[in-house]
Amino acid sequence: MNMNKYLSVSPEVQAALDAGKPVVALESTIISHGMPYPKNVETALNVEKIIRENGAVPATIAIIGGKLTVGCTPEQIEYLGKRGLDVPKASRRDLPVLLARGEDGATTVTTTMIAAAMAGVKVFATGGIGGVHRGAEVTMDISADLEELAETPVMVICAGAKSILDIGLTLEYLETKGVPVIGYGTEDMPAFYTRKSGFKVDYRLDTPAEIAAAFSAKLECGLRGGMLVANPIPEQYSMDPDYINENIDAAIKESVELGITGKKTTPFLLDKIQKLTGGSSLEANIQLVYNNVALGAKIAAELCKQ
Ligand code: PSU
Ligand code: MN
């Protein structure tokens, strides 16, 4: 049941949860701020289709008219995609004002986890998470996503961390906060566009059942927080590391020159990288999301058996 007037769970998602069926949460910042229209909408709708094909119910999450909406309709997805950057990117600190004013918001990993937990959804799949930014020792730019992983009991499936971040420091931070970082079929921490980052995950697990069992153990022991599953981009879509890293470096250099800070940093870098690489990074991004949501559906199914 809806816990409060700021939460709206779609009938389909609520029915699945009540029946103990698998549900996979999805974020909306990737739609409004992470990809250009109309590819963003096309991708978001394909993502839902892939989750259904893998036996789970998709729950795209956004703030619509001041409500954390768990299970957006295709019309709402189209609206979020078309409005793009005009939909405020909503992290934890943005929720109080946006909800009180009855506004819309694109949920980041952080707020998607919050809404998923409120609704009772345990598995959430996306592309990339926020982390410790390069230069954070000076800027203190550390994504709220890491704090949320420390606090909120939702499993997040991603393709690792982009090298717009300091991947080593991101892993250190997660260790400090007690967040397990699991590699799906790999010991290497993937770097989003590439299958390796030079860093290792905490544990390699090879099946959705093992991942579900580990998360169940965490929940049953009442260990606070979530778990991060890093699923490497499929080989055939992975990018040349030198090529992508040169472009990421160029994008970061430009963001520093332009004085981009705060919540604008990540969307600026994502957009710049897409422009510099002529769309090839966008295609990789789309394919790794498809790969992650299929895994999410399988893990959600296993979790229902626990
Ligand atoms: N990284 C990506 N794609 C994304 C994001 C991050 O590769 O779309 C989005 C996610 O919504 C993530 C947010 O939660 O950016 C992090 O923003 P910030 O760094 O401002 O915390
Ligand atoms: Mn930030």
Output the residue whose Cα is nearest ligand 1's atom 3.
Answer: 128
Q: Is 131 in the pocket of ligand 1 (CB under 6 A)?
A: no
Distance (Å) of CA 270 to CA 91, 178, 234, 248, 267: 17, 28, 20, 9, 5
Q: List Cβ neighbours of 275 (8 Å cut-off, separation of 6 or more).
A: none
- Ligand 2 centroid from CA 261, angstroms: 8
How much is the pLDDT for 235?
98
What 3 state SS string does the chain have?
A: CCCCCCEEECHHHHHHHHCCCCEEEECCHHHHCCCCCCHHHHHHHHHHHHHHHCCCEEEEEEEECCEEEECCCHHHHHHHHHHHHHCCEECHHHHHHHHHHCCCEEECHHHHHHHHHHHCCCEEECCCCCCEECCHHHHCCECHHHHHHHHCCCEEEECECCCCECHHHHHHHHHHCCCCEEEECCCECCECCCCCCCCECCEEECCHHHHHHHHHHHHHCCCCCCEEEECCCCHHHCCCHHHHHHHHHHHHHHHHHCCCCHHHHHHHHHHHHHHHCCCHHHHHHHHHHHHHHHHHHHHHHHHHHC
Tens-digit pLDDT profile for residues 59-92: 999 999 999 999 999 999 999 999 999 999 999 9
Tens-digit pLDDT profile for residues 243-289: 999 999 999 999 999 999 999 999 999 999 999 998 899 999 999 99
C-beta atoms surrounding 127 within 10 Å: 29
How much is the pLDDT for 286?
98
How much is the pLDDT for 155?
98
Confirm whether 67 is a catalytic residue.
no
Q: Name the catalytic one among 67, 162, 263, 298.
A: 162
Q: What angle do CA 222, 223, 228 make, to 5 degrees?
A: 130
* Pairing between β-strand 123-125 and β-strand 67-70 as defined by DSSP bridges: unpaired
Residue 42 clears pLDDT 90, i.e. is over it: yes
Output the residue whose Cα is nearest ligand 1's atom 17.
Answer: 130
Of the candidates 59, 115, 104, the residue with the CA atom closest to the CA atom of residue 82: 104
How much is the pLDDT for 3?
63
Confirm whether 302 is a catalytic residue.
no
How much is the pLDDT for 61?
99
C-beta atoms surrounding 159 within 10 Å: 31
Cα gap 136→131, rounded to integer Å: 10
Tens-digit pLDDT profile for residues 139-180: 999 999 999 999 999 999 999 999 899 999 999 999 999 999
Output the residue whose Cα is nearest ligand 1's atom 20.
Answer: 263
Tens-digit pLDDT profile for residues 92-135: 999 999 999 999 999 999 999 999 999 999 999 999 999 999 99
* Pairing between β-strand 155-158 and β-strand 123-125 as defined by DSSP bridges: parallel
The best mutation among 27, 33, 109, 291 to test binding of ligand 1, ranked by most ligand atoms within 8 Å of the C-beta, falls on 109
Q: Is 190 in the pocket of ligand 1 (CB under 6 A)?
A: no
Q: Is 127 in the pocket of ligand 1 (CB under 6 A)?
A: yes
Of the candidates 107, 80, 72, 102, the residue with the CA atom closest to the CA atom of residue 91: 107
